[in-house]
Chains A and B, each alone.
Chain A
């Protein structure tokens, strides 16, 4: 009986994975690598224009083994994580205040919108001039780019808390801290995490932009080095590593979402 049930469940989850198209991901990636390989092999491009997948792979192993890659990953990841922490802290704090006070929102809205109309690449040199080419300027750039989506989603999330539930908390004589803890946080969480998902990937971009402008370490720096030395395979290695980093961060946020927001999903939401 148990065995049959387990088998049924195993079968069901197998089918669910199929329907969700999980198997399509490796197929699609494999196909892309194959096409890349064919173009590199028969396209007649020199390796410094388009290195083959195999060349990139060996370059990756070499960078990994001599420790350079790990070092630059650690630098960039440190910038990204510190930037995320700073950006999220600032955005949620300010977002909470703005959500509570429309006057305050109107007062600050022009600056917030204006800050978004300036590309981050334009501000980055300024920040490097002011704060030096070290870690801090990169963290600031990451934080700046993370700030906006998290801010907006914090405001939208808090504003979407149903008035009826606020009345309920009032009739239960909840303190404002309790209203925050029991109502506002869980209620705003889905929208907030949506913003965080965008912010997490943007943070990686922020770090690279910062490193391009002025740095002597990090994956963005590695790309600059590779370009200077016509070591195009190294550029590819750095790019793929950045993609991997962004995907991992994104995946982490999705993981947090599925854990915290399980109440949102229907039991058979697989189809």
Chain B
């Protein structure tokens, strides 16, 4: 288990190539301390990595390892205490439209229909209704919610709600999609199905994806690369690429290779 330094360096110093098929996001020496007591609560410790364009990265770690916090930093919702997140050659200063975010909870507005929830980001940008609805309708089809356009969130199952949330995050056509344990509240079977769905959507839309999860098989099945965080303060313990062929089929979850990778990840979590 000789992990850290050599593995990490491969990624940390990749130069950003503007416009090319290069780096989508660079995280440099990010530290985060929440004000709490005298010392403060040290949540993220010296985190550095970079993500390639169209790469699917999973961030894996035990509860309380700060993985959701890290994702919020990447979204620009939280500013790091030290270090920086570089997006398109510039330090990230706050939320950006090119970075879509899917929350742990679907976070739909209960008074808006499925279609209205998906068009919300466009409405906030004053994009004309007819255009917005056209785009939203396309996404409704993509996430498989046809004929539910006019339903209210209260009539949807948990899995369907998350589909709406994903469609809403995609409606801006962001370059980067951040997902914070989006399937955490779903039952195991729905969760597996949503994972396959997400892969299908990712293959159709080709985004850079960073997804936080605590489910090892989910991360192996979805990701090109998995980052394992240690318990608080979160550090990167392991940065491992998942060399399983794509497109991935559900059957792959039961192969020996899959099991081997899962085992290594499990050992890294400790």
Contacts and interface: CB of A to CB of B under 8 A. Distances in A.
B77 interface: yes
Contact of B107 (A168, A186, A263, A264): A168
Given A182-B124, A266-B154, A167 B110 contact: no
A172 B95 contact: yes
Interface of B: 75-77, 94-97, 101, 103, 105, 107, 109-112, 120-121, 123-124, 152, 154
Contacts, number: 45
Contacts of B107: 162, 164-165, 167-168
Contacts of A172: 95, 120-121, 124
State the majority secondary structure of interface residues on B. loop
Nearest to B169: A171
A225 interface: no
Contacts of A165: 107, 109
Contact of B103 (A168, A173, A264): A168
Nearest to A183: B109
B119 to A, nearest CB: 11
Contacts of A266: 154
Interface of A: 162, 164-165, 167-168, 170-174, 178, 182-183, 186, 261, 263-264, 266
28 contacts: A162-B107, A164-B103, A164-B105, A165-B109, A167-B103, A167-B107, A168-B101, A168-B107, A170-B95, A171-B95, A171-B101, A172-B95, A172-B120, A172-B124, A173-B96, A173-B97, A173-B124, A182-B109, A182-B120, A182-B123, A182-B124, A186-B109, A186-B111, A261-B111, A263-B111, A263-B152, A263-B154, A266-B154
B124 to A, nearest CB: 5
